Structure 1
Amino acid sequence: MDTQRTNWTLIALLWTTGLLAAAQFAKLTFTLDGFQAAYQNQPAPLAVSAVSIVGILGGAVAGFFVGKIGARRAVLWAVAMSAVVSLIQGQKMPFEWFMLTRVVEGLGHLLLVVALPTMMVALAKPSDKAVVMGIWGTFFGVGYALLALVVPEIEAWGGISAVYQAHGVLLALIFPLVWFAVPKVMTAGAKMPNFIALHRSIYANPRYFAPALGHGIYTSIFVALVAFLPNALDAVWLMPVLPLANLSGTFASGFIAKRVPASKLSIYGFAAGIVLFALLGLTGSVTVALLALISTGLTAGANFAAVPELNSEPQDQARANGAMAQLGNIGTFSGTPIFALVAGSVWGIAGVSVVICVAGAVIAGLAYRAARMSAV
């Protein structure tokens, strides 16, 4: 690969693959009512979070596993596995079996969110790396926005089964494109470390865990806000708009990070969120809600851009991305059940968001400060 120029075509393909990774969460978020109707008296919201289980347990290991098999092979395995699982989910089955497919799907999701950004940044020249990671950071918001538009149409036509099958078909269609177009990134064959020692090494190094900490705190907000805030504001039309507001901030963060260190921009986003979510609780304003989502979008993109800022080598970036996956999955797993407790109240949602943003500004801020000092 010639990293003196950025391969935007391949980066676009990998980012598009990332949209299908985001759909692994979004397809359940936007079919939750139909899913609950199909599985009455079952804890349906856990089906959204179940994809996170593998990431929680193995996120930190994933970076090394990607290094062992190579990023290209990891993406191919993940796309193929995810396609098969999605097609299976389109069949009728007991709730327990469906939850099992979600856990398996979590393995594919984990490999994608670790390998894809590692490959994208490797395909970019140094001056474009922050922009590329800012673009990567939009994958979740764009994926949610697109599915918010198309899922109701597909569900009205063929039910929730058609939604899951359509996801599997799209994954199957993108597989040959990735197979033929994407080069090898990172030499395969790295040794897998001791599980306990690995976690100690990652979480003892702020250059690895600081972006992940910011990302995990952010993810505890995003999915829950998209799921619950539109109904609380009595504005269901916001469901596809909130992700768009979020990703506008995320996309902008990649360009802002060329002038402002991403490790600082993340904290600025949290600080703005504290003010905006407090105003949202007081006013119930849709405009303020959109501004709050833009601020969290800045934080989301900045956390991704901070990975190459603090880690120059692909192997180090893979480890940092593994920590991102682990703490990000903890955030998505815990956020939805927590916000469900206050789902009917704008003030309740805003209040929880304020507390989370305060934690982000303080805790992630200290971690980023330590990371910058260790990188000097």
Structure 2
Amino acid sequence: MTDPRTHWPLIALLWTTGLLAAAQFAKLTLTIDALSDVYPGMPVPLAVSGVSVVGILGGALAGFFVAKIGARRAVLLAVAASGFLSLFQGIEMPFAAFMATRIFEGFGHLLLVVALPTMMVALSKPSDKPVVMGLWGTFFGVGYALLALVVPSLEAWGGVRAVYVGHGILLVAIFPVLWALLPRVMAAGGTMPDVMAVHRAIYANPRYFAPGLGHGIYTAIFIALVAFLPNALGAVWLTAVLPLANLSGTFVSGFIARHIPASKLSIGGFAVAGVLFAMMGVTGSIAVALCAMFATGVTAGANFAAVPEFNHTPQDQARANGAMAQLGNIGTFSGTPLYALVAASLWGITGVSIAICVAGVIFAGLAYRAARMSAEMR
């Protein structure tokens, strides 16, 4: 794409597709109790984490795969496969078969979270890229919130299977729109390296892995705090409000990143959040907790915006987004068990949050510094 404009209608379409990618997680999380009744005695929570495991194992490889086949093909393949699998999940089947559909669905999710932001950046003019990536950073929380509104009605109407069928119908409906409108934003081609070569290529280059490291440290906080902080503060209603505070920070970060390099904004968000978490531990203030979640949201959006800051070609951005997916899934996978160990104490939650923010300042800070040095040497 050589058009200097920002193609907002196409970007909105890609972001909407991202909401359906977020629903691949949310539909299981929001129906886990009902699904446990369908499969009594089965390890139903594994059906949620199955998608994360695919991201951990294949995140780095996904960036190279998207670069090989092209972002347009990757999006279309992922939407078609995910739509079929979601419709298939509406059929009664043994739990083992249902788990298999979830694992295969994880591959579609992985392609989407790598290819969609790659296309969104390619369709943006340079000054709008931070805003576009800040918008992309909201996809998970917005998709989760929207699905939370409709799941109760779908379950009441057609049971838990209706949720999965409804998700599949939306994916099938958006497929022809994507087919008709999506341009080719990168030339497909090249050969796939072996798995070890992929990881060496990404993790030897800080321009690829620095945004992902910041993102992985952030994801260790977000879902766990939404799960445990409301009870620790004695305010269950915060479960719905904390994600909104976080999303607000994520969206605003895109506009701030027009004036401050996203890599520096990410570290600043970690630092401010760490101070606010300390204040929350001392005061037990809900207002301070919301401000802390806003600050972590700024960090989240800044990490996404840092991808095009250091990587200027769609192929490089796809590889960086692959690292984002892999390290983000590692953070999601590890953060909740860590917080569960201290969930009974507000100071325990505070201490873990401060430690993670300090880790973000130090380790993500060093990675971003190396990425800036690498970019200056090019």
Deviations, residues 277-303 of structure 1 (Å, cap 9, x unaligned): 233334433222221211111011000
User: More deviation in 294-303 or 324-333?
Assistant: 324-333
- Letter in structure 2 aligned against 1:269: G
After superposition, residues 122-133 of structure 1 pair within 5 angstroms as 122-133=122-133
| Counterpart Cα distance in 1 of 2:59 and 2:160 | 29
| Counterpart Cα distance in 2 of 1:336 and 1:261 | 30
The corresponding residue for 1:49 is: 49
Contact 1:149-1:240 within 8 A present in 2 as well: no
Give the C-alpha shift of residue 231 in structure 1. 4.1
The corresponding residue for 1:73 is: 73
After superposition, residues 1-376 of structure 1 pair within 5 angstroms as 1-376=1-376
Give the C-alpha shift of residue 245 in structure 1. 1.2
| Counterpart Cα distance in 2 of 1:157 and 1:349 | 39
- Letter in structure 1 aligned against 2:63: G
Secondary structure, aligned partner of 1:356: helix
User: More deviation in 257-266 or 148-157?
Assistant: 148-157
Secondary structure, aligned partner of 1:51: helix
Give the C-alpha shift of residue 73 in structure 1. 0.7
Contact 1:52-1:106 within 8 A present in 2 as well: yes
| Counterpart Cα distance in 1 of 2:368 and 2:198 | 21
| Counterpart Cα distance in 1 of 2:230 and 2:34 | 18
| Counterpart Cα distance in 1 of 2:9 and 2:370 | 36
Contact 1:144-1:240 within 8 A present in 2 as well: no
Secondary structure, aligned partner of 1:193: coil
Contact 1:310-1:375 within 8 A present in 2 as well: yes
- Letter in structure 1 aligned against 2:351: G
CA separation of 1:185/1:195 partners in 2, compared to 1, >3 Å: closer, same or farther? Answer: same
- Letter in structure 2 aligned against 1:195: V
Contact 1:230-1:238 within 8 A present in 2 as well: yes
| Counterpart Cα distance in 1 of 2:274 and 2:71 | 37
Contact 1:271-1:357 within 8 A present in 2 as well: yes
CA separation of 1:85/1:278 partners in 2, compared to 1, >3 Å: closer, same or farther? Answer: farther
User: More deviation in 67-76 or 136-145?
Assistant: 136-145
| Counterpart Cα distance in 2 of 1:232 and 1:95 | 34
Give the C-alpha shift of residue 242 in structure 1. 1.9
| Counterpart Cα distance in 2 of 1:157 and 1:64 | 42
CA separation of 1:47/1:233 partners in 2, compared to 1, >3 Å: closer, same or farther? Answer: farther
The alignment-based identity, stated in percent, is: 74
CA separation of 1:117/1:46 partners in 2, compared to 1, >3 Å: closer, same or farther? Answer: same
Alignment gaps of 5+ in structure 2? none
Q: CA RMSD in A?
A: 1.9
Give the C-alpha shift of residue 247 in structure 1. 1.1
Deviations, residues 15-72 of structure 1 (Å, cap 9, x unaligned): 0101111111122222233334444444443332211111111111111111111100
- Letter in structure 2 aligned against 1:117: P
CA separation of 1:74/1:57 partners in 2, compared to 1, >3 Å: closer, same or farther? Answer: same
Secondary structure, aligned partner of 1:177: helix
| Counterpart Cα distance in 2 of 1:38 and 1:345 | 34
- Letter in structure 2 aligned against 1:203: Y
Give the C-alpha shift of residue 256 in structure 1. 0.4
Contact 1:141-1:247 within 8 A present in 2 as well: yes
Give the C-alpha shift of residue 164 in structure 1. 1.9
| Residues paired across the two proteins, number | 376
Contact 1:50-1:333 within 8 A present in 2 as well: no
- Letter in structure 2 aligned against 1:140: F
CA separation of 1:153/1:312 partners in 2, compared to 1, >3 Å: closer, same or farther? Answer: same
Give the C-alpha shift of residue 156 in structure 1. 3.7
Contact 1:144-1:243 within 8 A present in 2 as well: no
Deviations, residues 142-189 of structure 1 (Å, cap 9, x unaligned): 112222333233334433322222211111111111111111121112
Please report the TM-score for the alignment, with normalisation by the length of structure 2: 0.93
Give the C-alpha shift of residue 343 in structure 1. 4.1
Alignment gaps of 5+ in structure 1? none
Give the C-alpha shift of residue 344 in structure 1. 4.6
User: More deviation in 4-13 or 83-92?
Assistant: 83-92
Give the C-alpha shift of residue 332 in structure 1. 1.7
Contact 1:64-1:190 within 8 A present in 2 as well: no
Deviations, residues 51-105 of structure 1 (Å, cap 9, x unaligned): 1111111111111111111100100111111112222223333333322222111
CA separation of 1:81/1:336 partners in 2, compared to 1, >3 Å: closer, same or farther? Answer: farther
